[in-house]
């Protein structure tokens, strides 16, 4: 695995993890009962994006380590996911 593919793999892991973590423990202004004028009731009541980004970084690093380990060890290769038999010898 080249450095470029490792960075791309980490970026994909980070963004997918971020979109999973983002709605966790979400409290809207409507749920909190304090709607700021000019904002919708579904707007976030607190600013916790930085904390979620830090949590995402650690979780994505663990997922990346697992995936990079599988890829570099050769446990799963491209021929293992060839379902139509195009790459068979």
pLDDT for 89 equals 61
Calculated CA dihedral for residues 84, 86, 87, 89, nearest 10 degrees: 100
CB 41 within 8 A of CB 29: yes
Q: Model pTM? A: 0.76
Question: pLDDT digits over 6-51, tens only?
Answer: 999 999 999 999 999 998 888 888 888 888 898 898 888 887 889 9
Provide the strand spans (E) within 1-89: none
d(CA 21, CA 15) in angstroms, rounded, equals 10
Question: pLDDT digits over 66-79, tens only?
Answer: 999 998 998 888 78
**How do the domains of the chain map onto residue ranges?**
3-81
């Amino acid at each position: 695995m080249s450095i470029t593919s490792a960075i791309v793999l980490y970026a994909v892991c980070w963004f997918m993890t971020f979109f999973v973590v983002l709605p966790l423990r979400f409290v809207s202004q409507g749920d909190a009962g304090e709607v700021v004028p000019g904002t919708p009731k579904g707007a976030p009541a607190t600013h916790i994006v930085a904390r979620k980004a830090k949590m995402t970084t650690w979780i994505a690093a663990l997922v990346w380590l697992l995936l990079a380990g599988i890829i570099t060890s050769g446990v799963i290769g491209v021929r293992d996911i060839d379902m139509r038999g195009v790459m068979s010898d």
